[in-house]
Structure 1
Amino acid sequence: MTVRFHLAPYDAAARTGGPAQCQSGWRSALAGEFECETLAREHGPILPMLLARDVGRSLDARVVPITLGGDHSLSYFALREVTSRLGPVTVVHLDAHHDAYPAAVLNHYSVFSIASRHLPIRIAAAGYRHDCEPLPPVLLQRVSGPAYVSLDVDYFSPALVACVGDPIPVLPDRDCTLATFEQTLSMIDGPIVGADIVEWIGDDSGRQEIEFMSRVVRALVQRIGT
């Protein structure tokens, strides 16, 4: 299965330096190995709509879109295109935060509250450990049918990915690693029809963290292709 990456440097509601600072980090992690369309940060508030357009074009071309963020609100725009074309999906959400706080506006911490109300999705989650009942780092149940993977990189231990806006320590015996990410991907029985990897402030990352993110990307691409 062919994939296409959509780089979206956007952080409408970031509290810190912001995950829009990710372009050089993602380019280094991709290392020219994958097709990637980049939106200009200067598009500002219309960038999410442009992302939706590009994700829709990928889906129409029967290519699996992978959004590289940028903040987590981008997931809503990608999911809107996926569900409008393919119908209901299960969102496999890996994150240290549940990102489902009630809010009147869409942002990176209300995205799944709003998406659950307006889009035909259900959520299967792993890794939550902040302001909620902690979840294991791997899905508790297998996922059947079409799936969309939404990975906030603060899911991983801060020892592995430190350049995030709100790093949350992992719990004892519940470390979140590349291995637990791969285990979760293996719990998806149906096709992965779209994905995003968000909230990485990649421009601040060192070589070791960039190489780790490169392995994360390859694990996701490999699973999509099976």
Structure 2
Amino acid sequence: MSNDKPSPATATFSDLAFTRTSPYGSQAEPTYAGATSFLRRKYSKDLESVDVAVIGVPFDVATTGRPGTRFGPRAIRAASTMLAWCPPYAWESDPLDTLHVIDWGDVFFDSGHIAEAPVAIRNTYLQIAAAGVKPLTLGGDHFISYPILQALSRTHGPISLIHFDAHSDTWADDGVRIDHGTMFYQAAKTGIVDPSRSIQLGMRTFNEEKHGYEVLDARWLHRNGIDAALAAIKARVGDNPCYLSFDIDFLDPSYAPGTGTPVVGGFDTHTALEFIRGLKGIHLVGADVVEVSPPFDHAEITALAGASIAQEMLGLFASKCA
């Protein structure tokens, strides 16, 4: 019988979500094993010295179509294990060398008292903002952006919104609905978002009302391209504190089938990543990737797209720190 004992060093290369000793850097771990925190970051509720907290919001009762986005945070985290072993290739440096990033885990709310969920979300992000930490959120349906923006606006004032989506999410409502198609109408109406300094991109569903937002729909983007769109975004937002919200259905269903309200005529994954990278240097105070619905996904391609977009968002956070 062998007397060999496991090397202590070997243990540090597994379950990095619990065993990592430094919050910085990318480190390889078998993609098929271990605790699936986002990019193998350490699970922690300790916000001391943290730059970015990755937070899951497993909420999907505001959907108007197919449910399932409550499973989105878990699926994005699992897909991110395929990205965690090296830096994102299109950036000059690894954002994880610059940023102290933790996986904070998921916001808790009682599904039996679902009307209280927006308050639970808002209170969580008030704590995050009070600690000076920037949130990167994994959804969940798109309604979750609203209580997040409510919390962040208390620190930053009216925020600029950069919104990638197939839908405007600005349909008017009665002000009390929990709905993933009306929250940016409410955000503009209540003043937590400044629509005159906000922009929506990729829309390919009809809404005649813009409520003060600049809207570059899918036809405009396809005709004018990435560079023109980036110039329009930066001209609109300027140096104002901004929130980046990415609905995965911005992508064409051929690239993101796993979502609740897919709309044809969208964009490929490369284009989406180029949009995110091109925003380097914006004053980003928070970001989210929402509407990943694993029950409708195939071979994890939607979850992987969501994880990749979130990883690029970390590059944006790092670019402002560089």
Hey, what does 1:21 align to over in structure 2?
A: 71
Letter in 2 for 1:38: D
Q: Secondary structure, in 3 states, of the residue corresponding to 1:166?
A: coil
Alpha-carbon shift at residue 77 of structure 1 (Å): 0.3
Output the CA distance in 2 between the equivalents of 1:163 and 1:208.
8
Output the CA distance in 1 between the equivalents of 2:72 and 2:233.
33
Hey, what does 2:41 align to over in structure 1?
A: none
Match status 1:11 vs 2:60: yes
The 3 A distance-change label for structure 1 pair 120 and 49 is closer
Gaps of 5+ in 1: none
Number of equivalenced pairs: 223
Hey, what does 1:130 align to over in structure 2?
A: 205
Residue identity (%): 22
Hey, what does 1:52 align to over in structure 2?
A: 122
Q: Secondary structure, in 3 states, of the residue corresponding to 1:4?
A: strand
Hey, what does 2:264 align to over in structure 1?
A: 169
Q: Secondary structure, in 3 states, of the residue corresponding to 1:55?
A: helix
Q: Secondary structure, in 3 states, of the residue corresponding to 2:221?
A: coil
Alpha-carbon shift at residue 188 of structure 1 (Å): 6.0
The 3 A distance-change label for structure 1 pair 148 and 164 is same
Gaps of 5+ in 2: 1-49, 85-101, 208-216
Task: Flag the structure with larger Rg.
Answer: 2
Structure 2 matches for 1:133-144, cutoff 5 A? 134=218, 135-136=220-221, 138=226, 139=229, 140-142=232-234, 143-144=237-238
Output the CA distance in 1 between the equivalents of 2:233 and 2:190.
25
Hey, what does 2:284 align to over in structure 1?
A: 192
Structure 2 matches for 1:80-95, cutoff 5 A? 80-95=150-165
Match status 1:155 vs 2:205: no
TM-score by length of 2: 0.63
Whether contact under 8 Å (1:147, 1:188) holds in the other structure is no
Hey, what does 1:2 align to over in structure 2?
A: 51
Match status 1:225 vs 2:295: no
TM-score by length of 1: 0.87
Answer with 198-207 or 131-140: which moved more: 131-140
Cα offsets for 1:143-201 (capped at 9, x unmatched): 31211001111011211111111111125xxx343433432552464311011211111
State the superposition RMSD in angstroms: 2.4
Output the CA distance in 2 between the equivalents of 1:23 and 1:148.
19
Q: Secondary structure, in 3 states, of the residue corresponding to 2:69?
A: coil
Match status 1:37 vs 2:130: no
Alpha-carbon shift at residue 12 of structure 1 (Å): 2.2
Whether contact under 8 Å (1:6, 1:51) holds in the other structure is no
Answer with 158-167 or 206-215: which moved more: 206-215
Hey, what does 1:214 align to over in structure 2?
A: 307
Q: Secondary structure, in 3 states, of the residue corresponding to 1:53?
A: helix
Alpha-carbon shift at residue 114 of structure 1 (Å): 0.8
Output the CA distance in 1 between the equivalents of 2:138 and 2:118.
12
Whether contact under 8 Å (1:6, 1:54) holds in the other structure is no
Letter in 2 for 1:25: A
Cα offsets for 1:81-120 (capped at 9, x unmatched): 1111111221000000001111112410011111110023
Output the CA distance in 2 between the equivalents of 1:107 and 1:77.
12
Alpha-carbon shift at residue 203 of structure 1 (Å): 5.1
Alpha-carbon shift at residue 24 of structure 1 (Å): 2.8
Q: Secondary structure, in 3 states, of the residue corresponding to 1:20?
A: helix
Q: Secondary structure, in 3 states, of the residue corresponding to 2:302?
A: helix
Hey, what does 2:90 align to over in structure 1?
A: none
Larger relative contact order (Cα-Cα within 8 Å, sequence gap ≥ 6)? 1
The 3 A distance-change label for structure 1 pair 148 and 185 is farther
Answer with 112-121 or 186-195: which moved more: 186-195
Letter in 2 for 1:128: M
